[in-house]
């Protein structure tokens, strides 16, 4: 009988300073060549389990570990992550956390170099790994210049280049456009037959057909595991799993997609934002070129397009972080040309793709109220309102906790609460669904819907076509720095189909075959 690739027995881990274990009594075995998908609600312990499997716990994360984790016969208590390198490859939720060099070629070569391989084999592995994630064109790019999705591809390539016997992918498609997601899933499907793969994901639709087993976690424990479709049917009723669907108690409200047609019949609608001929260069690269659109009171606009197409650059430009070199931005008919970021921020609240980029305080409460204190002043901010937001977003129990001790999904919700707290008219949301299970995504939707009903507008970078169809009324689709289309949702999807962007269509099943 062959040795198990992974054997976890009685695993419990409690982070330093916490009273409640993050994971409790985990028992799991993974065979060579097996593809396991682990899912569950946000904050249920999935990423903590991944850190245990990779050996970062107990060696580099403070806390108390009980039980054992054995990888290919090696007990992780006796083998540090450095000694396990080459056997285990972990792609974390936050790809920036594991990028450590300046250029893409160096990043992907870093692992093989540390394995002591000769130069010829290193070059072969780098080229092969980048081809696997369709990123050969990024070979000589500076890592800092990459988009979030491009960084995620490079993080995956850097792990593939070491050709480990166990690959752990923590939400590998979170930052990826639909085409990139398809490419990663193809990679997962065609890894060596002796390589075990563990994928941690909320969005299961495209993983269930290729997974050998689905493991469901709840409150730090394994609640069920078995045949993927069967476990999914059993637990999807708990509303932890995607896709998101409109809750019955808000079904009587106007859908976002109906807002546009209603607006066209009204004489009272206000133009909130007018963008004309917007252009931006970062270094020698023009990332946005001749962008023009209008947004109106009540709009929920989805910004879609491939990784590196200019979506995040647009949001940063509207807020003033990226300086424009062409065109203009008008807010209620007033030019924003002379307004600094701090001035624009009063009316535009941005939630960054990576929440670690906008967390500054040492408690969740201080972080939640920080923007309100800075932008509204000591006497004008609403303490009760922010407390209610923390309660609604399942963050109130962490009020005195360190924000960086939260999961990625919890950090995303915290940054959204901090922005909603001072009630800006425009929400700029960069991939707000990252790390969110179905229930938390529904809570997010409710907050955006309430914002819309007050006349606010939302500009949201989103790679989930099903979510866009259900909750947005506009599509702004970008391709290579240009605004390819600006249309109502249904009309926009029809145009995308005509243009051949089939992976961006709602309900579209990704073809995981070669080609």
pLDDT for 333-389, tens place per residue?
999 999 999 999 999 999 999 999 999 999 999 999 999 999 998 888 999 999 999
Residue 39 has pLDDT above 50, yes or no: yes
The predicted model gives 64-89 an average pLDDT of: 91
Q: Are 368 and 404 in contact (CB under 8 A)?
A: no
Rounded CA separation 453/380 (Å): 22
Whole-angstrom Cα distance, residue 337 to residue 323?
10
Length of the chain: 515
CA dist 202 and 190 (Å) reads: 22
pLDDT digits (tens, 9 = 90+) for 500-513: 999 899 875 555 44
pTM, whole model, 2 decimals? 0.82
- Cβ neighbours of residue 355 closer than 8 Å, sequence gap 6 or more: 408, 411, 412, 414, 415
The residue among 178, 175, 230, 228 whose CA lies nearest residue 204 is: 228
136 phi, psi to nearest 5 deg: -60, -30
Q: Report yes or no: 9 and 68 within 8 Å, Cβ to Cβ.
A: yes
In the prediction, which pLDDT does 298 show?
A: 95
The whole-angstrom separation of Cα 89 and Cα 249 is: 44
Q: What confidence score (pLDDT) does residue 95 get?
A: 83
- How is 71-99 classified by DSSP, letter by letter? ETTEETTTS-HHHHBTTEEEE-SSGGGG-
- The pLDDT value recorded for residue 102 is 92
Other beta carbons less than 10 A from residue 504's beta carbon: 23
Cβ–Cβ under 8 Å, residues 231 and 212: no
pLDDT of residue 508: 57
Residue 264, token pair as written in the block: 């066209």
- pLDDT reported for residue 252: 39
Are 287 and 481 contacting, i.e. CB atoms less than 8 angstroms apart? Answer: yes
List pLDDT tens digits, range 417-468.
Answer: 999 999 999 999 999 988 888 888 888 889 999 999 999 999 999 988 988 9
What does the pLDDT read at residue 438? 80
450-453's contacts with Cβ under 8 Å and 24+ in sequence apart are: 451/420, 451/427, 452/256, 452/259, 452/298, 452/299, 452/300, 453/253, 453/298
User: How high does pLDDT run on average in the chain?
Assistant: 88
pLDDT tens track for 211-261: 999 999 999 999 999 999 999 888 766 544 444 444 434 333 444 444 444
Q: Which of 41, 86, 80 is nearest to 242 (CA)?
A: 41
* Top-tier CATH class for 6-238: alpha beta
What are the domain boundaries of the chain?
6-238
Ranges of H-type helices in 225-330: 228-235, 259-264, 311-319
Range of 2-6, 111-115, 506-510 with top mean pLDDT: 111-115
Average pLDDT over residues 120-130: 95
């Amino acid at each position: 009988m062959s040795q198990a690739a992974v054997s976890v027995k009685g695993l419990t881990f409690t982070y330093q300073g916490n009273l409640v274990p993050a994971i409790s009594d985990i028992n799991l075995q993974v065979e060579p060549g097996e593809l396991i998908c682990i899912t569950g609600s946000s904050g249920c312990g999935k990423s903590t389990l991944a850190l245990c499997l990779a050996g970062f716990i107990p060696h580099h994360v403070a806390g108390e570990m009980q039980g054992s984790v054995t990888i290919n016969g090696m007990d992780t208590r006796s083998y540090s992550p450095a000694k396990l390198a080459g056997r285990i490859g972990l792609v974390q939720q936050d790809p920036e956390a594991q990028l450590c060099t300046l250029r893409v070629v160096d990043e992907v070569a870093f692992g093989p170099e540390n394995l002591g391989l000769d130069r010829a084999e290193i070059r072969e592995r780098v080229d092969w790994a980048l081809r696997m994630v369709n990123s050969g064109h990024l070979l000589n790019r500076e890592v800092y210049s990459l988009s979030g999705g491009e960084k995620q591809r490079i993080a995956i390539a850097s792990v593939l280049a070491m050709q480990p016997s166990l690959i752990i992918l923590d939400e590998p498609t979170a930052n990826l456009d639909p085409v990139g997601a398809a490419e990663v899933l193809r990679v997962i499907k065609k890894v060596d037959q002796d390589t075990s793969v563990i994928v941690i994901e909320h969005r299961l639709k495209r993983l269930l057909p290729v997974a050998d087993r689905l493991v469901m976690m709840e409150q730090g424990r394994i609640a069920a595991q078995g045949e993927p479709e069967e476990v999914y049917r059993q637990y999807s009723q708990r509303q932890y799993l995607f896709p998101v669907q409109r809750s019955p108690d808000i079904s009587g409200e106007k859908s976002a997609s109906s807002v546009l047609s209603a607006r066209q019949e009204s004489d009272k609608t206000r133009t909130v934002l007018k963008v004309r001929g917007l252009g931006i260069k970062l270094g020698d690269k023009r990332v946005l070129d001749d962008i023009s659109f209008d947004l109106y009171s009540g709009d929920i606009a989805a910004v879609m397009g491939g990784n590196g197409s200019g979506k995040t650059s647009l949001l940063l430009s509207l807020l003033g972080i990226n300086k424009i070199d062409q065109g203009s931005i008008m807010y209620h008919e007033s030019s924003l040309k002379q307004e600094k970021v701090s001035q624009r921020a009063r009316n535009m609240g941005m939630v960054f793709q990576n929440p670690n980029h906008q967390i500054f305080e040492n408690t969740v409460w201080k972080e939640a109220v920080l923007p309100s204190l800075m932008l509204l002043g000591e006497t004008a901010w609403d303490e009760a309102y922010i407390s209610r937001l923390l309660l609604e977003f399942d963050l109130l129990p962490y009020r005195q906790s360190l924000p960086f001790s939260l999961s990625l999904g919890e950090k995303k919700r915290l940054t959204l609460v901090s922005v909603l707290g001072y009630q800006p008219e425009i929400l700029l949301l960069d991939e707000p669904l990252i790390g969110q299970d179905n229930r938390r995504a529904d809570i997010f939707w409710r907050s955006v819907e309430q914002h819309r009903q007050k006349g606010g507008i939302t500009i949201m970078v989103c790679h989930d076509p099903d979510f866009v169809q259900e909750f947005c009324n506009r599509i702004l689709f970008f391709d290579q720095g240009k605004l390819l289309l600006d249309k109502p949702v249904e009309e926009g999807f029809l145009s995308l189909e005509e243009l051949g962007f089939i992976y961006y269509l709602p309900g579209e099943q990704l073809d995981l075959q070669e080609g």
